[in-house]
Every structure is written in structure tokens, then in C-alpha cells.
């Protein structure tokens, strides 16, 4: 069945460092891909999305490109801030199949000042 | 706008008991989805309600049931509680079934002893 695999955390970086959180997926069709973020004490919220191959989703300085050839959707940010400390979840859904959403296990990010 | 609200915040039950969790969607939203998030894991989709009917369901046993009311609020019921049901239960609302349109609540923390 469909699945999402994320790099394990926690990931600890200094402020202004470059961030990459790896995400790979397994799907039989053509899924939509998402990154959600969960800030401390807050609900889960959508960070960015991509719906087809080679699409790039971007928001708040974060980017991720839908790579069908490598079945990946890695999250990147050029210069992280302390306020980016949160848990990040990669997810996929296949609307033309059973239309369910599948989340990865999440990656906790700590940014040190 | 209060956003998505859930009650109660925390709950402690014993094995075999039954529990009801409640969710009020964001104003204007007519679709409610429920998720189970075990500690250190990503959210797992339980089911989605639209027009007072269950529209999609994840891989959860029949012990998990739900209801949506005419005002779009929703309940999640879990019967015959098991220790493994201990988790954070998230509710998300949306105007459509699209997964990128979801707004999540803060969750209800259920502990089964």
C-alpha cells in the first residue's frame, strides 16, 4: 500500500543554517504531496503542497519539489530561524483511488539561537 | 472566528470503557475528519464526515464510530477501549474533501489505563 518515509529526528541546527528534511513515498498512482507543520502547543497546519510531478510548493521560505523519478518530496529552507522549531510531517493522498491521506511519522526540528 | 475546537482537552479512561470526543468545525466548514496520533507517530486517518454521513474511512475497527450533526459539529465514539487507543485525537474541518483545505484543532489527549 501507499506509504511515506521521513528522516528521523530530532534535527538540531543553528539559526541561519540550511535545512533539508528528506521525504520519500510509495504510491501506485499519482499522488498529491504535502508538508504539514505542528508548532509547539498549536494544531497541525498545511505548510505547502504539490499536485503533480516537477511542481514546486513554497511557503514561508520553505520549498519542496515533487520528484517522480526519485519518489521524493524533500523540504528545504535556505536560512532557518528559531521560530521554525516544530514537528514537520510529509503526507500524500491519491484522490483517484480511495482518497485517503497518509502521513509520515514526523521530524522534530530544533533551531538554536 | 474560533477555528476548530475540540473537547475535552484531556481524558483518562480504563480498559473496556467507552468514550465520546467532540469537535466544532471552523465557521463555514461542512466536512469533518478525525485522526489518531500515537506518541511519536504521524496522524492516522480514521474517517471523514460530510452531510451527516461517513464518506471515507481508514483502517480502524468498528469500535470507532462517529456522527455529524446538522450544525456540522461531530463526535468520535470509541467502544471497548484498549490500552493501544491511548493517543492524541485530532479533528480537522474543511469546506471540501480536499486534504489541502483542512484546518486542525488542538486535539484531545486520551489516556487508557
Three-state SS annotation for chain B: CCCCEEECCEEEECCCCCEEEEEECCCCCCEEEEEEECCCCCCEEEEEEECCEEEEECCCCCCEEEEECCCCCEEEEECCCCHHHCEEEEEEEECCCCHHHCEECCCEEEEEC
pLDDT tens, position by position, B20-62: 999 999 998 999 999 999 998 999 999 999 989 998 899 999 9
Query: Which residues in chain B are closer than 8 Å to A99, comparing Cβ atoms?
Result: 56, 97
pLDDT tens, position by position, B73-101: 999 999 999 999 999 999 999 987 667 67
pLDDT tens, position by position, A16-73: 999 999 999 999 888 999 999 999 888 899 999 999 999 999 999 999 999 999 999 9
Closest chain B residue to the Cα of A91, Cα to Cα: B42
Contact B42 A103 (CB under 8 A): yes
Contact B100 A46 (CB under 8 A): yes
Q: Is the pLDDT of residue B1 over 80?
A: no
Out of B43, B45, B58, closest to residue A44 by CB: B43
Query: Which residues in chain B are closer than 8 Å to A31, comparing Cβ atoms?
Result: none
Q: Is the pLDDT of residue B2 over 90?
A: no
pLDDT at A29: 82
Q: Alpha helices, DSSP H only, in A22-79?
A: none
Query: Which residues in chain B are closer than 8 Å to A4, comparing Cβ atoms?
Result: 42
Nearest to B24 by CA among B53, B1, B58: B1
pLDDT tens, position by position, A57-105: 999 999 999 999 999 999 999 999 999 999 999 999 886 656 688 999 9
- Bridge partner residues of A108 (DSSP): A87
Query: Which residues in chain A are closer than 8 Å to B107, comparing Cβ atoms?
Result: 43
Contact A102 B90 (CB under 8 A): no
Contact A93 B99 (CB under 8 A): yes
Out of B41, B42, B106, closest to residue A43 by CB: B106
Average pLDDT of the residues of chain A: 93
Amino acid at each position: 500500500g501507499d506509504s511515506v518515509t521521513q528522516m528521523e529526528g530530532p534535527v538540531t541546527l543553528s539559526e541561519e543554517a540550511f535545512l533539508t528534511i528528506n521525504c520519500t513515498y510509495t504510491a501506485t498512482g499519482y499522488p498529491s504531496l504535502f508538508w504539514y507543520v505542528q508548532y509547539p502547543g498549536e494544531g497541525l497546519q498545511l505548510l505547502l503542497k504539490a499536485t503533480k510531478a516537477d511542481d514546486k510548493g513554497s511557503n514561508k521560505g520553505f520549498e519542496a519539489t515533487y520528484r517522480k523519478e526519485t519518489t521524493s518530496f524533500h523540504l528545504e529552507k535556505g536560512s532557518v530561524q528559531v521560530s521554525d522549531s516544530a514537528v514537520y510531517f510529509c503526507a500524500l493522498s491519491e484522490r483517484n483511488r480511495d482518497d485517503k491521506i497518509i502521513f509520515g511519522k514526523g521530524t522534530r526540528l530544533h533551531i538554536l539561537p | 472566528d474560533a477555528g476548530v475546537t475540540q473537547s475535552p482537552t484531556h481524558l483518562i479512561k480504563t480498559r473496556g470503557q467507552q468514550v465520546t470526543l467532540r469537535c466544532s468545525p471552523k465557521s463555514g466548514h461542512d466536512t469533518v475528519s478525525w485522526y489518531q496520533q500515537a506518541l511519536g507517530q504521524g496522524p492516522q486517518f480514521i474517517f471523514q464526515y460530510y452531510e451527516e454521513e461517513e464518506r471515507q474511512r481508514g483502517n480502524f475497527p468498528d469500535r470507532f464510530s462517529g456522527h455529524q450533526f446538522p450544525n456540522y459539529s461531530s463526535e468520535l465514539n470509541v467502544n471497548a477501549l484498549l490500552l493501544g487507543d491511548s493517543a492524541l485525537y485530532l479533528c480537522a474541518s474543511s469546506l471540501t474533501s480536499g486534504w489541502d483545505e483542512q484546518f486542525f484543532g488542538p486535539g484531545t489527549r486520551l489516556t487508557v489505563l
